[in-house]
Each structure stands twice: as C-alpha cells, then as structure tokens.
Chain A
Amino acid sequence: MIEFERFELDNGLKVIFHKDITTPMAVVNTLYDVGARDESEEKTGFAHLFEHLMFGGSINIPDFDAPLQRAGGESNAFTSNDITNYYDVLPAQNLDTALWLESDRMLSLAFTDKSLEVQRQVVIEEFKQRYLNQPYGDVWLELRPLAYKKHPYKWATIGKDIKHIQDAKMEDVKAFFQKYYHPGNAILCVAGNFEFSYIKERVEYWFGNIPGKLKPARILPSEPIQKEFRELTLERNVPANAFYYAFKMASRKTMEYYVSDMISDALGREKSSRLYIRLKKELNLVSEIGAYITGSLDDGLLMISGKLNDGVSFEQVDVEIWKIIDEFVSREMSVVELERLNIKIRTAREFQDQGLLNRAMNLCHFELLGDAAGINEDLMVYQSITPKQMSTLGKSILKKKNCSVLRIKSTK
C-alpha cells in the first residue's frame, strides 16, 4: 500500500505528497500534461526538443543543473507521446533547492538563443544516435504511420523528420511554453521523510504565486477503426530479417487495456510464453521473439516482434504466429498459466515500488489518469482478469483486419 496525501493550489497545481520515513533522499517529480501527440503535424518533435530547453535556464536562474548539483542532487526528464516528466533526486535536507528550481522554470524560461541553437544540435545528434545510426533504429519511425492514419501517434516522440527540429523557431518555443507549461497543466509529487504540513507550506511558498491558466483543451483526431490488414516490407542493410506485428488495442483507462497487457504477457513476455516456446524452442524459426504493449494513454498497440533465423522465411513465421493466436483465442487458458502471469506481474511490481522515484512518478501518472489512488488498485485489476475475458478480447483484437505488419528485409 502506497500512502499519499493530496492538495491543490489556487492556481490549479495538483500536488501529491508521499511520505517515506526510511530514506534520506527526496524526490520532486513534475509531470506536464503534454506530449508528442499535442504537436502539429508540421512541427513534430517539439515536445521533446522543449524538454531539452527546460534545462537551459529559467527567468531568475541562469543554469538549472548547477544549483541542484551543488545541493547534492541530480535531475533528468523524459518525453513520451503522451506526457513530459521531470524529476529531481536530492538529499532531503536540501528539498527547497529543487522546489525553487522547478517553480522558477514553471514561472518562465530564460528563452536564450544559445540554448535553442545548441539543444537543436543535441537533439539532432540524439536522433542520429538512437534512430538513424542503429541497425533497426528506424523501425518505430516507419511503423507508427503504418498503424496510425489520423491520430498523432503516427509520429515518434523524436519527430518524424530531422527537418522539423532544424526549423524550430523561438516564437514556437515561447508559444509552446505559454500553452502547456503552467500550474493548471501540471502535477507535482514530493516524496521523502517530511511532514505534510511542511510540504504544504513550502509548495505554497514556491509555486503559489505562479499565475494560473486554464488547462488547454485537447481535441485530437481519433484514429478510425482499422478495417484492413496492412503490411509494409522495407529493405535495410541489416544482418537479419525482422518482423513487427502491431495490433490496435484500447486506451489506458479501460479494462481492455489491462486484459490486452496480460494477453501480451501470455503470448511473449517470458521464456515460458507461447510464442517463445513454439517459434523458438520447438520450431527454431527465430532468434528472438517477444510480445508487449506500447502502454499509451489513447488507443495503443499490442506488439509481437522478433528476428528470423538464417534461412527461415517471413511466410513460415507468419503461419505459425497466426496458428498460436488462433489457439489462444479458441481455447481458454488454464488456471496454472493465469497464475503464472499474475505472480510475475506482482513480483515485478514489488520490485518497482521499492524505488522512491518510481513511486513518485507513478503517483503523478495515476493522478493524470484521474486518481492517484489508482496506484494501489492496479494489481487487483490484473488479478480479477479471467481466462474468458482474455480469449474474448483476443478474438476481437488479434485479427488480421486489426493488424499492421512491418518487415525489415536484410539486403546482405
């Protein structure tokens, strides 16, 4: 059970406090409700570029990192298609430094030309390092527009084209800040060995006078129901043929989300999963195979991906994957298999919850979903899932008409 308390400032900032008496450290986690899905199609990669600029100095503090390091702490952030999340971890006695820094960059950035110029270059190098200069690195740049036709999930967080990063202008940066970076669009979590009254007072002090604004309305084009099987084969200079099957699945706030997650576990999470046993151990067709979900807030993807052994054709594997799916949806799984999936979920969760930072991030995440208390209900939802629910949902999502397949064919 993860305990927490909650309050909201007059300017709209939602605040969660999580007490942990065992740690000498403190975490300040700030989630902004903005991600790559909020970008316009002509200016992609912007939410992520912006995340870099958040470290380039704020209105009253020229450098974000140095004061935090001087306080014994460190900071980082990540951007997804859904959210942008910033975190500071530092010795508890210096908590005020993190609140000072985070509140100042929520108030306003410095917006220096130097910061924009340099971070533009840094992000371009990141684009190369992670997506363009790696074998199979461009898979998600290609798969997203195959699986999504309307919804902004059709581009990756890094952006769909380096050119969009190169063209980013200061006026775009400022407009983005005005729209998304303010108390009404943020959730703050402070975790550590503190008293609630102290946290309330300090957060009020640092964040209380930041002007409030209305939360921006999010009206995204919804993805039309897929009605046809899609496939795309690309030739690349890579050593092995690889395949990526993407099935549409429901959004984060639905029961179907949990069931889909568990379906992916059954199909391909571990070496005891169905795809691994059949395709790798029994038939020796693949060198690696797995199944997982993208975990996105809007309609997501259930993925099956892997690499072929030399001399094996895409067709051979395709036939076997559909056979396994057919078996999965036509026969309910045993209680033993269901329990196996559940104990893995429970164990993984126990280990994750050990980390203070993880707890703080998850509390913000669940608060964004509607209620931080969800953090303590999640596991029970998984445990309530029945074999029948899995085969029934499997039938409706694990079908050709709901599937997009990307194949990377080796040119060697």
Chain B
Amino acid sequence: MVDRLQTPDLKQIDSINFVAPEIRTEFPIPFFVQKQVPNATSRIELYFNAGSTNGKIGLASLVSGLLLSGTDNMNSTEIHTELDNLGGFHDISLGHESVVVSLYGLNDKLAELLVLFCQSISAVTFSESEIQELKEDRKQKLRINMQKVSFLAQREFSKNLFANSQYGRVINEDNYDSITRKEIIDFHKAFYLSGLFKVVLIGSFQEETIVSMEDLLIPFVNNLALEYNQNLQNIPGVFHTEKEGALQTAIRVGRILFNRKKEDFVDFTILNTILGDYFGSRLMSNLREDKGFTYGVGSMLSEFHETGYFLIATEVGKEHKDAAIAEIRAEIEKLHHELIPAEELNLVRNYLLGQLLKSADGPYAMTDLYVGVQAFGLDISFYDRYIKKIHEITPEKIQLLAKTYLDWSQMTIVSAG
C-alpha cells in the first residue's frame, strides 16, 4: 500500500564537486579554458571594457550594435552570411561596466568563426548608412519600450538608484541623433581595439587550436586601467511616472547595497531568497498566491565590480498599486519584527543548496560559476564558504540583516502606470 501522507525521506547536500577551468598563464589577461565537454558544442566569450558608462549616453550601445556592420572587404550581409555558413550563433551583451561578445558553434567550426569575428570587429569601417540604420532602429525600439510600464518604471528607478552618476543616465531619442561617426570610431578604438580584458573558452579543443585563438586575440588586449565606480548612492523616496490608459502598474523598490566581496553577501542572499527570490517566497506567497494582485513578483541582488543593488520588481493590476506597495513594506517589516520559523529557514537552506548543485551542472554552468567569482578576485573556495554559511545561518542573523539593510526609509520606490 502506498502511504501518500508520509513525506519521502530527504537527503541533504553536504558538498558539491566544483571544478575550476584551466588558466592560460602565458596570456597577458585572464584566459580560462574548460575542455571537459562531452558533446560537439563550444563557446567563446570575449569581455571588452566597453560598457555603457563609458562615453556619451547611447554611444556604447551604438558601437556594440555596429561591431559586425562591415569592413572594406565584407559588408554586413556578407559577414552574417559567412557566420551562418559556419553554423555560428552570437550574442553581444551590453552592461554598465563591460560588453560580453559570445560566439557559439560546433567545436570544429569555432576557430574559423573566431577568425571571421576578429577580422570583422578589428576592421569595421562604420559606414554612415549602417550608423543611420541602427540609429533609426534604436529610436523605434525606444518609442515602443516607452509604452511599457515595466520599462518606464525601470528607467525612473535607474535615475534615482544610480543618482548623479554615469550608471543612472537614461536615453532619449535625440541622444542617438547627436552621436557622430567620429565619436563612434574613437570609442571603438579605445574600448574594443585595446579593450579585451577576459576570455572564456568552453569546448573540447586541441592545444594548437587554443594557441591559434590566443594569437588572434592578443592584438585586442586591454591597455587601460580598469576603474569602476565605488560610490553609488540611491535617492530614497517615492517616484511615480504616469502612463495614460495602462491596465497595470509596474513597481520597483530598491537601494544600493553591495556585491559578493562583502562579508554579509551570502547571508543576505539567503534573506533575499526568503523575501522574494523563489516561487514560495514571502512576496510571491502574499502578492500572488494569497491576494492575486500580480502574475509575478521577485527580488534580487544585482552586482557590479565594486558595489551592487537590491531590487524588488512586479507588475500589478492598476487598482492594486497602493495595496501592493503596502504589502511589500509589510513583508519587509515583518522580517524586522519576527524571527523566521525554523521550518521555513530549513526549506530555504535546502532549496538554495539544490539550486547551487543545479548551477554547477555541466561544463557551461560550472565555468560560469567560476567566472562569476573570479571577477571579484575570489576563487572557487567561495562556494565552499557559501555552503558552510547556508548551513550555519540563524534566524537571528536574518533578522539583524533585515534591520540593517532593508530599512524602508532608505528605499527608492518607483511606480509607473
């Protein structure tokens, strides 16, 4: 007979077998290789010091969008056709502090793909017609985004979260118009032609192939000091952007906090999970599963090189805006006033360990985990400490962190709708 009332026994995760990638010690910048890939896939990631805080507003975005726009020998269509002939996929991701150019392909094609990529990026001519086309595309996309309450809220949030810094700049259509070809060329020269500061290669490759890739990448190596903002400050307060006819209101609540270099980071991650970072979190249980105000609500801790920020985000029915903000506040303050029940903390512990196991599953995930700590000058032992801290955290510590870091009066609270 099946006993369905009896919960199956659980086995805890005590340790995870983390494997760091190899480091190419001869290469002048960090170059990591993960060769243990049990299939024909491969990926190379190139990190450039070309993030959006550099230069005029919108400039970094345009340059990142023009990297494959053509050289004297090949126009943009010819470049993309050749990439497709080799079965390559790519992604160019612009962040505040860097640009990551990712190239995906079968491992017997990746070296050829990289040759094409490097040639295209280094010899790009930035023709006026390509620049103009991209400006128009970006302006149309911006006009469409300006109709989304989530975008409007994020914009207002960024302005006040990263107040008075390059991080908090928001773009308008005429910013694109004011950017000149010369500015684009100069930016490209400074931040791409000598802006490569990290390489991550995954795939089953022979030594000679890796050496050939190194030779291709050497000319791009960064020669600037990497400097990042350490003093971001948010403006606490309540901000609203009106959007006529909106059926929902987007809400953002957050503040500047810290990144994983700070001692409290892991413990705060546990607190963040309890509050809003999994399906059973307090915010989800309250705003969605109890009240039906929203399709989803979540919180996160996002990191920069020298700092980080905490964010709660949701879209709620227009009529629920004030009630939703009141409930978010109530959930935060409940963490100040009441100790978390042992059973809930135990669940979150197990959940986080299971998720860590999952995020270390396979060569890609494992390498990403490693790169995620290396950027902060840490090594893979960070995750052993992470597991230890998860086991050791107490309800009292959670309460102390909530009181210290989640003070409503220090929050930037934004709504759009």
Binding site for B on A (CB under 8 A): 22-25, 59-61, 65-67, 69-75, 89-91, 93-94, 96-97, 100, 103-104, 107, 117-126, 128-130, 132-136, 205-206, 209, 237-240, 270-272, 277, 281, 284, 287-288, 307, 309-310, 336, 339-340, 343-344, 346-348, 350-351, 353-354, 356
Apart from A100-B8, A129-B248, 15 more pairs, CB < 8 Å: A22-B362, A69-B347, A71-B350, A72-B353, A90-B354, A91-B11, A118-B292, A121-B293, A128-B247, A240-B140, A281-B76, A287-B140, A347-B104, A350-B41, A351-B104
Residues of B51-88 whose CB lies within 8 A of A? 76-77, 80-81, 83-88
Interchain CB contact under 8 A, A22 and B38: yes
CB distance from A398 to the nearest CB of B (A): 22
A-B pairs with lowest CB-CB distance, top 8: A72-B354, A121-B292, A343-B87, A239-B143, A271-B80, A96-B8, A272-B81, A347-B87
Main secondary structure of the interface of A (DSSP, over half): helix
Interchain CB contact under 8 A, A69 and B278: yes
**Docked CA distance A306–B405 (Å):** 46
Interchain CB contact under 8 A, A240 and B144: yes
Binding site for A on B (CB under 8 A): 2, 4-5, 7-11, 13, 16, 38-41, 76-77, 80-81, 83-89, 104-106, 109, 133, 136-137, 140-141, 143-144, 146-149, 245-248, 278-280, 288-295, 315-317, 346-348, 350-351, 353-355, 357-358, 360-362, 364
Interchain CB contact under 8 A, B4 and A104: yes
Residues of chain B within 8 A of A128, CB atoms compared: 247-248, 317
**Docked CA distance A89–B279 (Å):** 14
Interchain CB contact under 8 A, A125 and B87: no
Residues of chain B within 8 A of A309, CB atoms compared: 136, 140
**Docked CA distance A136–B8 (Å):** 47
Interchain CB contact under 8 A, A277 and B77: yes
**Docked CA distance A100–B2 (Å):** 10
Interchain CB contact under 8 A, B7 and A347: no
Residues of chain B within 8 A of A237, CB atoms compared: 147, 245
**Provided the pairs A72-B350, A72-B353 are in contact, do residues A118 and B291 lie with their beta carbons within 8 angstroms?**
yes
**Docked CA distance A131–B188 (Å):** 39
**Docked CA distance A237–B144 (Å):** 10
**Docked CA distance A347–B107 (Å):** 10
**Docked CA distance A123–B296 (Å):** 10
Interchain CB contact under 8 A, A206 and B2: yes
Interchain CB contact under 8 A, B361 and A23: yes
**Docked CA distance A104–B7 (Å):** 12
Residues of chain A within 8 A of B39, CB atoms compared: 350, 353-354
Contact with B10, one of A61, A94, A118, A356 (Cβ below 8 angstroms): A94
Contact with A66, one of B76, B80, B280 (Cβ below 8 angstroms): B280
Residues of chain A within 8 A of B358, CB atoms compared: 25, 89, 91
Interchain CB contact under 8 A, B106 and A350: yes
Contact with B7, one of A73, A100, A121 (Cβ below 8 angstroms): A100
**Docked CA distance A270–B87 (Å):** 11
Residues of chain A within 8 A of B104, CB atoms compared: 347, 351
Interchain CB contact under 8 A, A354 and B87: no
Residues of chain A within 8 A of B354, CB atoms compared: 69, 71-74, 90-91, 94
Contact with A239, one of B13, B109, B144, B248 (Cβ below 8 angstroms): B144
Interchain CB contact under 8 A, A347 and B140: no
Interchain CB contact under 8 A, B89 and A133: no
**Docked CA distance A129–B147 (Å):** 13
Residues of chain B within 8 A of A240, CB atoms compared: 140, 143-144
**Provided the pairs A287-B140, A310-B136 are in contact, do residues A125 and B292 lie with their beta carbons within 8 angstroms?**
yes
Residues of chain B within 8 A of A340, CB atoms compared: 81, 84-85
**Provided the pairs A125-B293, A344-B87, A347-B105 are in contact, do residues A74 and B351 lie with their beta carbons within 8 angstroms?**
yes
Contact with B41, one of A124, A134, A354 (Cβ below 8 angstroms): A354
**Docked CA distance A409–B288 (Å):** 35
Interchain CB contact under 8 A, A133 and B106: no
Residues of chain B within 8 A of A288, CB atoms compared: 137
**Docked CA distance A180–B158 (Å):** 47
CB distance from A313 to the nearest CB of B (A): 16
Residue among B109, B289, B291, B353 with the highest chain A CB neighbour number at 10 A: B289
Interchain CB contact under 8 A, B84 and A344: yes
**Provided the pairs A66-B347, A271-B77, A272-B80 are in contact, do residues A239 and B362 lie with their beta carbons within 8 angstroms?**
no
Interchain CB contact under 8 A, A122 and B292: yes
Residues of chain A within 8 A of B291, CB atoms compared: 118, 121
Residues of chain A within 8 A of B143, CB atoms compared: 239-240
**Docked CA distance A100–B200 (Å):** 41
Residues of chain B within 8 A of A347, CB atoms compared: 41, 87-89, 104-106
Residue among A103, A238, A336, A343 with the highest chain B CB neighbour number at 10 A: A343
Query: Can you list 7 contacts pairing A with B, beta carbon distance less than 8 Å?
Result: A69-B278, A69-B348, A70-B350, A118-B290, A240-B143, A284-B133, A354-B364
**Docked CA distance A133–B247 (Å):** 6
Residues of chain B within 8 A of A310, CB atoms compared: 136, 140
Residues of chain A within 8 A of B149, CB atoms compared: 133
**Docked CA distance A70–B105 (Å):** 38
Interchain CB contact under 8 A, B80 and A91: no
Residues of chain A within 8 A of B315, CB atoms compared: 125, 129, 133
Interchain CB contact under 8 A, B362 and A287: no
**Docked CA distance A356–B362 (Å):** 10
Nearest to A265 among chain B residues (CB) is B84
Residues of chain A within 8 A of B10, CB atoms compared: 70-71, 94, 97
Interchain CB contact under 8 A, B7 and A67: yes
**Provided the pairs A22-B38, A23-B361, A272-B81 are in contact, do residues A93 and B8 lie with their beta carbons within 8 angstroms?**
no
**Provided the pairs A65-B279, A121-B292 are in contact, do residues A94 and B11 lie with their beta carbons within 8 angstroms?**
yes
CB distance from B91 to the nearest CB of A (A): 12
Nearest to B344 among chain A residues (CB) is A66
Residues of chain A within 8 A of B88, CB atoms compared: 347
**Docked CA distance A350–B147 (Å):** 38
**Docked CA distance A170–B268 (Å):** 42
Residues of chain B within 8 A of A339, CB atoms compared: 85
Nearest to B348 among chain A residues (CB) is A69
**Docked CA distance A94–B357 (Å):** 13
**Provided the pairs A94-B11, A288-B137 are in contact, do residues A281 and B77 lie with their beta carbons within 8 angstroms?**
yes
Nearest to A242 among chain B residues (CB) is B144
**Docked CA distance A72–B280 (Å):** 12
**Provided the pairs A69-B278, A100-B8 are in contact, do residues A91 and B106 lie with their beta carbons within 8 angstroms?**
no
Residues of chain B within 8 A of A132, CB atoms compared: 247
**Docked CA distance A225–B106 (Å):** 42
Nearest to A71 among chain B residues (CB) is B10
CB distance from B64 to the nearest CB of A (A): 16
**Docked CA distance A107–B8 (Å):** 17
**Docked CA distance A112–B411 (Å):** 38
Interchain CB contact under 8 A, A69 and B279: yes
Interchain CB contact under 8 A, A287 and B8: no
Residues of chain A within 8 A of B87, CB atoms compared: 343-344, 346-347
Nearest to A309 among chain B residues (CB) is B136
**Docked CA distance A66–B289 (Å):** 13
CB distance from B349 to the nearest CB of A (A): 9
Residue among A59, A96, A128, A353 with the highest chain B CB neighbour number at 10 A: A128
Residue among A72, A209, A348 with the highest chain B CB neighbour number at 10 A: A72
**Docked CA distance A135–B76 (Å):** 30
**Docked CA distance A67–B350 (Å):** 10
CB distance from B296 to the nearest CB of A (A): 8
Residues of chain A within 8 A of B5, CB atoms compared: 60
**Docked CA distance A123–B7 (Å):** 30
CB distance from B285 to the nearest CB of A (A): 10
